[in-house]
Chains A and B, each alone.
Chain A
Amino acid sequence: MLRTLRSEQIKLTTLRSTWWSVALTVGASLGSALLIATVVSEDESGPNTVENISILFLVAAQLALIALMAMAVIVSTSEYRFGQIRMTLAATPHRWLVLLAKAVVTMAVAFVVGSVTAWSCILLAKPLLPSGLRLDLSDPGAMRIMWGLPLFFAVAALLALSLGAVLRNSPASITILALMSLGVEKTLLAIPKTRDFAQYLPFNAGARITQPHDAGAELTPWGGFGVFCVYAVVLFLVAVILAETRDA
């Protein structure tokens, strides 16, 4: 397992596309957070820390996430696109082990990227915020949302990697993920009739952990994150079963 992990770690870190995705994720998140911090006014912002952080994380949790998921998709699909999977499986014939190692390494990278994103956004944006706007990390819920972003990133990476392993095709996988997270799910959430059902969709549920607690919603932030984890784990198991049964 350790050897396979090391091997997958070398694979991930020796590709340029990995670093582009990471730079794009952090850059877009940080840029947008700083921009929001400078334009937000005291009366536009919410009354508490969690709400203010969630506003700064808005782009990170919705848009920058796509770049990170693209990286995770490529972890799976690049193997098939270039026939490298044959070398991978010749080296490690246990396919579940290969997928598990990929998942661990990719989730670890996503978690680190999420942490860097979250903390740099807050620390750099804080001086730019209007003085009356409350941003105190010792407030209740503040830590939940600060660690919620990296957790959300990590599980989204698992979902993306699994989808890539099932479809074996980057454009299709990335398009589906982008459409779901940015289009379909948000639209259904905005329509009153489908709202109740839409909150259980993967990205709507998962993003709850980066949002303030909503007393009116059925799902709590952690509950929503739990639902998201279930989606990701189920898809990962599907990917493992398919990998074990399909020809490479």
Chain B
Amino acid sequence: MIEAHSLTKRYGNTVAVDNLSFTVQPGRVTGFLGPNGAGKSTTMRLILGLDRPTGGTVLINGRHYASLHQPLRNVGALLETKAFHPGRRAVHHLRWIAASNGIPSRRVQEVLETVGLTAVASKRAGGYSLGMSQRLQLAAALLGDPQILLLDEPVNGLDPEGIQWMRQFMQNWAQRGGTVFVSSHLLSEMAVTADHLVIIGRGRLIADVPTKEFVSRSAGGFVRVRSPQADKIEQLLTEKGADFSREPDGALAVRGVEAARVGELVAEHGLVLHELSPQQASLEEAFLAITRSAQEFHTGGPAAGVGPPPEYGPPPEYGPPPGYGAPPPGYGPPPGYGPPPGYGPPPGYGPPPGYGSPPGGPPSGGPPLGSPPPGYGPPPQTPPYGQG
């Protein structure tokens, strides 16, 4: 079990992790979600005691990481893509790690077998592909036969087969009573891997919910209705008390009513339809919406004019529902808040220039966040924060 209490980490003026509290329970896969630069890796490093928190604590089975006797027997961590010396043979890499925690060297062969690297164990790790590197890192995490696994973006760079393998591995681990804390910026991946989600944006907790609940709450579909008599249909829907909104192209997005029912209603009144199509909002859209709303708080701009224009925005229930641990009202960082130049990730990190500008001025660099083509979610790709 991992417990974080009011965990905070500042680098100069930049708050990487902000008053973060959550618990990771054994017996299930807990997904740690957030866009790049949200503070996931920093949180992972804080858990392992690699970085010192500015405030708050994080405990593993009730103890600080540094006070664990032979920590690798309690916690296995896959931190970065390549945290090994490229000139060293894989088997030697595992051997020094094993020696540091008094783990018998036969375990080295066992974990190599588990991750399927036995045949290439005597190759220098620098020659490994990304997928092999991830497997080597996982082997290192498994050496001490720990109860807790911390995995930072473990499927990064894996091929579909590798992703599936990693997913099954994590789920099996949790089924046997282990604790798995796995970070990712891809909701679609976490939706099929994790049982529980801890979602952060800009270092703050946005949601701490079971995956099922998040998916069912967020991914509600709607019916897209296009008609030359849209105004009349709108009137009709208002009379019926339906929940709907206007799409940018003038179409109506109707929620909570089946397409068939909308069609019947329209037919009853002899109106013309050009389109009547059920739409499934993507999980990515929900994820972007929920993290975006957290970021708006943090950019400190005026409420109006920040982010997407209203009609581009997600429908009301896509936002963080009350009680999801959304940032408390009234929180407002000082003006000009933002990562100072030169902080950590390469240029391009942080709100891109023009982000948060009034409607009509899409941010330069990267896909405009708030303007997906009508009826489609934003492409499930990395948001334009740069790599972080």
Binary contact readout A174-216 vs B (1 if CB under 8 angstroms, 0 otherwise): 0000000000000000000000000000000000000000000
Could you say which residues of chain A place their CB within 8 Å of the CB of B102?
3
Which positions in B face A, CB cutoff 8 Å? 45, 48-52, 65-66, 68, 71-72, 75, 77, 79-80, 82-89, 92, 95-97, 99-102, 140
A86 and B81 alpha carbons, distance in the complex (Å): 12
Q: Is there an interface contact between B72 and A15, defined as CB atoms closer than 8 Å? A: no
Could you say which residues of chain A place their CB within 8 Å of the CB of B85?
11, 15, 78, 82, 84
Q: Is there an interface contact between B50 and A3, defined as CB atoms closer than 8 Å? A: no
A46 adjacent to chain B (CB < 8 Å)? no
Q: Is there an interface contact between B49 and A10, defined as CB atoms closer than 8 Å? A: no
Which positions in A face B, CB cutoff 8 Å? 3-4, 6-8, 10-11, 14-17, 78, 82-84, 86-94, 245, 247-248
Q: Is there an interface contact between B97 and A86, defined as CB atoms closer than 8 Å? A: no
A88 and B48 alpha carbons, distance in the complex (Å): 11
Task: Please pick, from A7, A87, A94, the residue contacting B66 in the complex, using a CB distance under 8 A.
Answer: A94
Q: Which of B80, B85, B87, B101 counts the most A-chain CB atoms under 10 A from its CB?
A: B85
Q: Is there an interface contact between B50 and A16, defined as CB atoms closer than 8 Å? A: no
25 A–B pairs (Cβ distance < 8 Å), ordered by A: A3-B99, A4-B100, A7-B96, A8-B96, A10-B99, A14-B95, A15-B88, A16-B87, A82-B83, A82-B86, A83-B79, A83-B83, A84-B85, A86-B48, A86-B50, A86-B83, A90-B77, A93-B49, A93-B65, A93-B66, A93-B68, A247-B45, A247-B50, A247-B52, A248-B51
Instruction: Evaluate whether A89 and B50 lie within 8 angstroms (CB atoms) in the complex, with A10-B92, A14-B89 already known.
Output: yes
A88 and B89 alpha carbons, distance in the complex (Å): 16
Could you say which residues of chain A place their CB within 8 Å of the CB of B72?
90-91
A86 and B77 alpha carbons, distance in the complex (Å): 10
Could you say which residues of chain B place their CB within 8 Å of the CB of A91?
71-72, 97, 100-101
Q: Is there an interface contact between A7 and B97, defined as CB atoms closer than 8 Å? A: yes
Could you say which residues of chain A place their CB within 8 Å of the CB of B92?
10, 14
A84 and B72 alpha carbons, distance in the complex (Å): 15
* Closest chain B residue to A2, Cβ basis: B102
Could you say which residues of chain B place their CB within 8 Å of the CB of A86?
45, 48, 50, 77, 79-80, 83
A10 and B51 alpha carbons, distance in the complex (Å): 26
Q: Which of B50, B65, B84 counts the most A-chain CB atoms under 10 A from its CB?
A: B50
* Closest chain A residue to B92, Cβ basis: A14
Could you say which residues of chain A place their CB within 8 Å of the CB of B77?
86, 90
Q: Which of A78, A90, A92 counts the most B-chain CB atoms under 10 A from its CB?
A: A90
Instruction: Tell me the smallest distance from the CB of A116 to a CB of chain B, in Å.
Output: 24
Task: Please pick, from A8, A14, A88, A248, the residue contacting B88 in the complex, using a CB distance under 8 A.
Answer: A14
A168 and B114 alpha carbons, distance in the complex (Å): 35
Q: Is there an interface contact between A15 and B87, defined as CB atoms closer than 8 Å? A: yes
Q: Which of B82, B99, B140 counts the most A-chain CB atoms under 10 A from its CB?
A: B99
Instruction: Tell me the smallest distance from the CB of B67 to a CB of chain A, in Å.
Output: 8
Instruction: Tell me the smallest distance from the CB of A238 to a CB of chain B, in Å.
Output: 19
A17 and B126 alpha carbons, distance in the complex (Å): 14
Could you say which residues of chain A place their CB within 8 Å of the CB of B71?
90-91, 93
Q: Is there an interface contact between A10 and B96, defined as CB atoms closer than 8 Å? A: yes
Could you say which residues of chain B place their CB within 8 Å of the CB of A248?
45, 50-51
A84 and B101 alpha carbons, distance in the complex (Å): 16
Instruction: Tell me the smallest distance from the CB of B59 to a CB of chain A, in Å.
Output: 14
A111 and B344 alpha carbons, distance in the complex (Å): 40
* Closest chain B residue to A245, Cβ basis: B52
Could you say which residues of chain B place their CB within 8 Å of the CB of A84?
83-85
A17 and B87 alpha carbons, distance in the complex (Å): 9
A29 and B89 alpha carbons, distance in the complex (Å): 30
Instruction: Tell me the smallest distance from the CB of B123 to a CB of chain A, in Å.
Output: 13
Given A14-B89, A15-B87, A84-B84, 20 further pairs, Cβ under 8 A = A4-B100, A8-B96, A10-B95, A11-B88, A14-B88, A15-B85, A83-B79, A83-B80, A83-B83, A84-B85, A86-B77, A86-B79, A86-B83, A87-B79, A87-B97, A89-B50, A90-B79, A91-B71, A93-B65, A94-B66
